[in-house]
Amino acid sequence: MSVLAVRELTPRGAGGVSVIELRGAGAREALENLCATTLAIGTLRLVRPRAEGEELDEALAWCESEERVELHLHGSRPLVRRVLAELGGRDARDEGPSLEQRLAAAPCERAARIVLDQLEGAHERACAHFAALATHEIGAELAALAVRSDRARHALEPARVVIAGPVNAGTSTLFNVLHGGERVIVSAREGTTRDAVVERIALGRYAFDLVDTAGERDGGADELEREGQHLGARLRAGADVVVWLSPADRPTPPPLERSGRWVVLQSRADLGGADPLSALSSREAPAAARALVEARLREALDLPEDPWTPGALVALDARERAHIGRARAALARGEREQALALLCGLRTPVR
């Protein structure tokens, strides 16, 4: 069994002609209904698509088979959107970046592997696989797809991680270790970090957008430092995860008013003092510090060690994840064919 899929084959943007493909069960019948005519297999015919009694365009219809037809119409974007809507398809401009663009912009190696699987036909294979399943099996597979996509999201869309803590807790040292270079100045002088510094890093098999912020203290801060601390508080409020670091010899609890995911660590600070050897030491044991932060971030975000399932379909963005949610809702209502159609309409390749 194949499910009807509708997509625009021509590139995005205005053009002289737009080609819309219908592929799957009922393709010829759907185009015949739109054009109020009959189409013979292997022929090209002049047709007039109609909707609500209105003639939309004069176009050409190519009928390759019962399950594959093409409609060649004028490339006006409002016209294309209207015809796609009548046929159950979408405007190609709503699809976001192409798979090739996503591959080029992949934030880490695992994200590139996930996108490459999609380029190599993961969606098409999944559509054929789902159509052959019993209804209860489709539900289980859709649930697994939703979980897989949610976990892969942090490889495809790096989580924002804000490092914060009291002054001289070693946040900038930790930032440099995770970044892999001397990106921010480290000093024993309190208040050295005043602005937020953001860098994309690879940690384990994930990418993260890492933010270093001004250290917290109640007194002695000048106006510029206080503004940096206010900025840090705003960034913490919008972070996916906050890593709160405080010196082991003077543990400082994180702010009482906080929300979201927090990872609380103690450090030797690496700026002097006789801190316990059991605390994190970014300067003296950088590999161990990286491994600890990676493990705690994965725990906070409920991430597997590896987000890549070779060859598997994965939703690549929020729109596709919402599409899977709609397919699951349709299946829960007993609308098997609608669920399959939604799955097959998840992604329209741009050729």
Domain shared by 203 and 296, yes or no:
yes
Q: Residue 276's pLDDT is what?
A: 47
180 and 292 part of one domain: yes
pLDDT at site 185: 42
The residue out of 262, 284, 301 marking a domain boundary is: 301
Quote the CA–CA distance of 259 and 282 in Å, as a whole number.
26
Helices (H) and strands (E) in the chain, counts: 11, 12
Asked whether residue 15 is assigned to any structural domain, the reply reads yes
Identify the burial level of 150 via C-beta atoms within 10 angstroms of its C-beta, where 0-12 means exposed, 13-18 middle and 19 or more buried. middle
Do 84 and 174 reside in the same domain of the chain?
Answer: no
Provide the CATH number for the domain around residue 198. 3.40.50.300
294 and 218 within one domain: yes
Closest CA to 347 of 126, 130, 158, 20: 126
Q: What is the phi/psi pair of residue 207, to 5°?
A: -105, 145
> Where is the domain boundary, 51, 76, 95?
95
pLDDT attached to residue 6: 84
Is 4 among the domain residues?
Answer: yes
* pLDDT attached to residue 8: 83
149 within a domain of the structure (yes/no):
no
In a domain, 128, yes or no: no
Structure confidence at residue 190 (pLDDT): 44
Q: Provide the 8-state DSSP code for 257.
A: S
pTM exceeding 0.85: no
Q: Is residue 311 part of a domain?
A: no
Residue 117 lies in a domain: no
The total domain count for the chain is 2
Reading the chain (351 residues) residue by residue, the pLDDT tens digits are 456 778 888 766 556 788 999 988 889 999 999 999 999 999 999 999 998 888 999 999 999 999 999 999 988 888 888 888 888 765 545 556 788 889 999 999 999 999 999 999 999 999 999 999 999 999 999 999 999 999 999 999 999 999 998 887 888 888 888 987 565 444 344 444 445 788 899 999 999 999 988 777 565 555 666 676 677 778 888 899 999 998 887 788 888 777 779 999 988 755 444 444 456 777 778 888 899 999 999 999 999 999 999 999 999 998 899 889 989 999 999 999 889 988 888 875 433
Tell me, yes or no, whether 164 and 65 share the same domain.
Answer: no
Report pLDDT for 3: 60
Same domain, 290 and 198: yes
Tens of pLDDT, residues 216-238: 756 555 566 667 667 777 888 88
Helix (H, G, I), strand (E, B) or coil at 71: strand
Residues 6 or more apart from 169 whose CB is under 8 A from it?
Answer: 215, 245, 246, 247, 252, 267, 269
Q: Measured at the alpha carbon of residue 252, what is the angle toward residues 249 and 257, in degrees to the nearest 5?
A: 170
Structure confidence at residue 156 (pLDDT): 95
Whether 177 and 84 share a structural domain? no
Instruction: Please check whether residues 163 and 91 belong to one and the same domain.
Output: no
Q: Do the domain assignments include residue 330? A: no
Buried-state track 228-264, b at ≥16 Cβ within 10 A, e below 16: bbebbbebbeebbbbbbbbbbeeebebeeeeeebbbe
Q: Which two tokens stand for residue 173?
A: 């040292």
253 and 167 together in one domain: yes
User: Which amino acid type is present at position 258?
Assistant: R
φ/ψ of residue 85, rounded to 5: -65, -40
Residue 268 makes CB contacts below 8 A (sequence gap 6+) with 170, 247, 248, 275, 276, 277, 279, 280, 281, 284
With tokens 């047709």, the residue in question is 47
Q: Are residues 3 and 77 in the same domain?
A: yes
Phi-psi region of 243 (alpha: psi -120 to 50; beta: other; left: phi over 0): beta
Query: At 153, is the secondary structure helix, strand, or coil?
Result: helix
Where in the chain does DSSP place strands (E)? 5-8, 17-23, 43-47, 50-51, 54-55, 59-65, 68-74, 159-164, 197-203, 206-212, 241-247, 261-267
Residue 191 structural domain: 159-301
pLDDT at res. 196: 72
Q: Give me the CATH number covering residue 77.
A: 3.30.1360.120
> Which of residues 301, 316, 334 is at a domain's end?
301
In a domain, 51, yes or no: yes
Residue 194: its pLDDT value, please? 46
Please indicate, yes or no, whether residues 297 and 203 belong to a single structural domain of this protein. Answer: yes
